[in-house]
Amino acid sequence: MNKPLRLGILGAANIARSFASGVAAAQDVKIVAIASRDASKAEGFAREFGIEHHFASYEAMLCNSEVDAVYVPLPNTMHAEWSIRAAAAGKHVICEKPLAMSAGEATEMFAAAEQYGVILREAYPYLAQPQTVRTRELIAEGAIGRVQLIRASFGVPFSDRSNIRLNPTLGGGSLLDAGSYPVSLCRMLVGAPPKRVQAVARWTADALDRTLVATIDFANGVLAQISCSFATAFHRHALIVGEQGVIETDYTNHAWSGSHPEIKLRRGLGFRAPYETIFCPGGDGFCFETSEFGALVKGDSEKWHGASPQDSIDIARMLDAAAISARDDGQWVCL
């Protein structure tokens, strides 16, 4: 239990490189293996990051007894298959968002993890950031009273058709990529399941959602609006409105050295109520979340600030409903 969690990475794409760089500073976690279907790519990746083992297939890494857990950064359509195969091999799994292509897949993934006695969690670096942790603490403390409304957005420009985010056959689209962040934020802040969802979208010629806006009606009465886009300048912002105040945050994934993530808090009902700025520590979100995952695997669940299995299933349900509604001229979809 005192040894570092030995982690393997399934795939050597760009996000895996960012992950490996961030996790290098994580406590009690060590990347010990990298697998790629291209042997030379795996070897080069291992050499660059000082990783002990490299494999020319995902299957080979899952068979290796030196690996305790795996990180799955593969295309969205591959998350369920390889998370389940990793679980069957006795490996704990931290899987990139969105966890699955549907709520049905997500449910099957967690069932497999339970069957094989391993831990599966969905990766959202921003949830482990001190900025987000403090935001949730403020809400729990009643700093703005009971939450009534949330508006959360995330947009980032993508136009290179070779990018898998723009490939419909690999689970591309703004909703599953950028949209999973505001959807997950709303679920985590509300602390209740969704009741119904309505969405509209703008589409590419090959029926990929470039921009989507959705309204989410939660079971406890909170209303949320989310937006996501690949057709705008970068923006990432959340407005959380309670009965007694307002919180604003950019719920960042990574706060690089020298940056100072902020929370804007306004206590009071009137428009003249002043804002106070709360400065939070920053850091690499991959490092934060992987350290928390390592602690979770070792039995310290209190350090995990990320999504629970039920949270992830609810997030998948909201993504499913938003996609259905957007393709059905904005009809409400009940969950």
Tell me how far apart the alpha carbons of residues 122 and 71 are, in angstroms, rounded to a whole number.
10
Strand partners, 53: 33
Largest CA distance in the chain: 62
Above 90 in pLDDT, residue 1?
Answer: no
Above 60 in pLDDT, residue 106?
Answer: yes
With contact defined as beta carbons under 8 Å apart, do 218 and 144 qualify?
Answer: no
Which CATH topology does 127-288+314-334 take?
A: Dihydrodipicolinate Reductase; domain 2 (3.30.360)
What integer pLDDT is reported at residue 161 of this predicted model?
83
Helices in 50-179 by DSSP H: which ranges? 58-62, 79-88, 103-116, 125-128, 130-140
Instruction: Name the DSSP class of 269.
Output: S
From its phi and psi, is residue 78 left (phi > 0), alpha (psi between -120 and 50) or beta? alpha
Backbone angles phi, psi at 156, to 5 degrees: -150, 130
Above 90 in pLDDT, residue 258?
Answer: no
Angle (nearest 5°) at CA 198 between 192 and 204: 125
Angle (nearest 5°) at CA 324 between 318 and 327: 140
Above 60 in pLDDT, residue 27?
Answer: yes
Sheet containing strand 53-55, edge to edge, reads 53-55, 29-35, 5-10, 69-72, 92-96, 120-123
Distance, first Cα to last Cα, the chain: 41
Strand partners, 245: 267
Question: pLDDT tens digit string along 202-235?
Answer: 999 999 999 999 999 999 999 999 999 999 999 9
Question: pLDDT tens digit string along 145-163?
Answer: 999 999 999 999 998 888 9
Question: pLDDT tens digit string along 41-97?
Answer: 999 999 999 999 999 999 999 999 999 999 999 999 999 999 999 999 999 999 999
The whole-model pTM stands at 0.96
**Tokens 């950028």 sit at which residue?**
178
Question: pLDDT tens digit string along 193-205?
Answer: 999 999 999 999 9
* Dihedral sign for Cα atoms in the order 33, 36, 37, 42: negative
The residues spanned by each domain of the chain are 5-123, 127-288+314-334
What average pLDDT does range 268-280 have in this prediction?
Answer: 94
What integer pLDDT is reported at residue 259 of this predicted model?
75
Provide the 10 A C-beta neighbour count for residue 330.
15
Identify the helix (H) or strand (E) that includes residue 275.
strand 275-279
CATH classification (class only), 5-123: alpha beta
Helices in 191-308 by DSSP H: which ranges? 285-297
User: How sure is the predictor about 257, in pLDDT bands with cuts at 50, 70 and 90?
Assistant: low
With contact defined as beta carbons under 8 Å apart, do 132 and 305 qualify?
Answer: yes
